[in-house]
Amino acid sequence: LSEHSSILAHHFDDLEQQHEADTLGMWTFLATEVMFFGGVLAAYALYRHYYHSAFVAASGQESIVLGCTNTVVLLCSSLTMVLAVHSASEGKRRGIIFWLFMTIVLSLVFFSIKAIEYGKVFDHGLFPGLWNPTEEARQHLAHVDLSHVRIFFCFYFACTGLHALHMIIGVAIILVLMYKAYKGRYTAEYNNPIEMFGLYWHFVDIVWIFLFPLFYLVDRSGAGH
Amino acid sequence: MSKTAPHISLKTYFTVFAALMILVVVTVWAAGLNVHYTGFHTFTAMTVAFIKTWLVVLYFMHVRYSSTLTKLFAASAFVWLLLLFSLLFADYFSRPWLPVSESWANPAGQSHVDLSAPAHMERGAETHND
């Protein structure tokens, strides 16, 4: 067991128990994250129920192509993340670093597309903090109450912003993991941090799986798109 | 290796990934369908989202291969989410069903008060327009 002593914390009996405790702790954290995003989405669902037509029109301002591309990009990053975890389980140091790097690259693609999207909303004057809709936006939204549209964009920026914040934190953690992998800290026997981070990354992906239909696909058939 | 992390074949990961891609296409396609039943689009979009979540949780997050205790913790997150949504909507959706006394429904001699939306929301719509 001397070989394990550096990777096995002294308060655990063996690696298996340590792994089980790590997994359980991570899932407890993710359960609190589900409640965190769940609260925001519950409020969104309620407003969408009351201001349906305004939310349909506001959602029509979003680009399905950009939103869908970002969905695909994020799902690809989940695949590269799972491949990093797989490399870690086989103790392949270069595999871990390469797939973690690809995950960062895909995150940057996601951020770039998000920046284009946010830019468009700002250009139309639809950012709730700098609310000044352009003539073009007003024409598109002429049949609905603009104050309700503003609420839609409050939720849009709150939800996608919180999601992006989680990704930024994720990228920072990946950089640390890449450095430690480079130093040879992770082997086939011990790679818990990579696996636990994988759980976090997939959770962030799941949040987007819900944000995409909720914000980009609100009754598209009726909106005439 | 099997002592700490579950070993899942690459084929499983790629199959799940392919299924997720197909579901992205399905959700965009379904959103454009010309169906006018109330709630159809929300229902299909959320159903597809839950199927995608199910796949990610079971395979990418290894819950299928995890201990029963981990499964319980993972499931508890969604159980609490279900409680949050069901109690919240039970309240708001049932408000128009309640019998309301004349003095409530007609507080200031108004001919009609729409109880399907809370009063403060409706007022906000009038005063904060633009």
Owner of token pair 């139309």: A124
Structure tokens at A25: 């702790």
pLDDT band at B115 (very low <50, low <70, confident <90, very high): low
Contact A174, A103 (CB under 8 A): yes
Do the chains contact at B60 and A16, CB–CB below 8 Å?
Answer: no
Do the chains contact at A35 and B61, CB–CB below 8 Å?
Answer: no
pLDDT band at B4 (very low <50, low <70, confident <90, very high): low
Q: What is the pLDDT of residue A7?
A: 83
Q: What is the pLDDT of residue B5?
A: 54
Phi (first) and psi of residue B106, to 5 degrees: -135, 60
ipTM over cut 0.90: no
Per-residue pLDDT of chain A (225 residues; tens, 9 = 90+): 445 567 888 888 888 888 899 999 999 999 999 999 999 999 999 999 889 889 988 988 888 899 999 999 999 999 999 999 999 999 899 999 999 999 999 999 999 999 999 999 999 989 998 988 888 888 888 888 889 999 999 999 999 999 999 999 999 999 999 999 999 889 888 899 999 999 999 999 999 999 999 999 887 765 433
How far off is chain B from A175, nearest CA to CA, in Å? 21
Q: Write the pLDDT tens digit of every residue in B78-100.
A: 999 999 999 999 988 888 887 77
Q: What is the pLDDT of residue B130?
A: 42
pLDDT band at B119 (very low <50, low <70, confident <90, very high): very low
Q: What is the pLDDT of residue B99?
A: 78
Question: What part of A 158-217 touches B (C-beta under 8 Å)?
Answer: 188-192, 195, 198-199, 202-203, 205-206, 209-210, 212-214, 217
DSSP 8-state secondary structure symbol assigned to residue B114? -
Is the pLDDT score of B24 beyond 90? yes
Question: What part of B 85-114 touches A (C-beta under 8 Å)?
Answer: 85, 88-89, 92
- How far is it, in rounded angstroms, from Cα A193 to Cα B112? 61
DSSP 8-state secondary structure symbol assigned to residue B63? G
- How far is it, in rounded angstroms, from Cα A59 to Cα B17? 28
Which of A31, A82, A202 has its CB closest to that of B76? A31
- How far is it, in rounded angstroms, from Cα A77 to Cα A84? 10
pTM of the model: 0.86
Q: What is the pLDDT of residue B122?
A: 45
Lowest mean pLDDT, pick from A41-50, A178-187, B18-27, B33-42 = B33-42
Is the pLDDT score of B2 beyond 70? no
How far off is chain B from A116, nearest CA to CA, in Å? 21
CA dihedral B96, B102, B107, B110 (to 10 degrees): 80
Q: What is the pLDDT of residue A173?
A: 97
Q: What is the pLDDT of residue B129?
A: 41
Structure tokens at A92: 């392949």
Contact A44, A158 (CB under 8 A): no
Q: What is the pLDDT of residue A104?
A: 97
- How far is it, in rounded angstroms, from Cα A167 to Cα A70? 13
Contacts of B37 (CB under 8 A, 6+ apart): none
Q: What percent of chain B has pLDDT over 70?
A: 73
Q: What is the pLDDT of residue B37?
A: 78
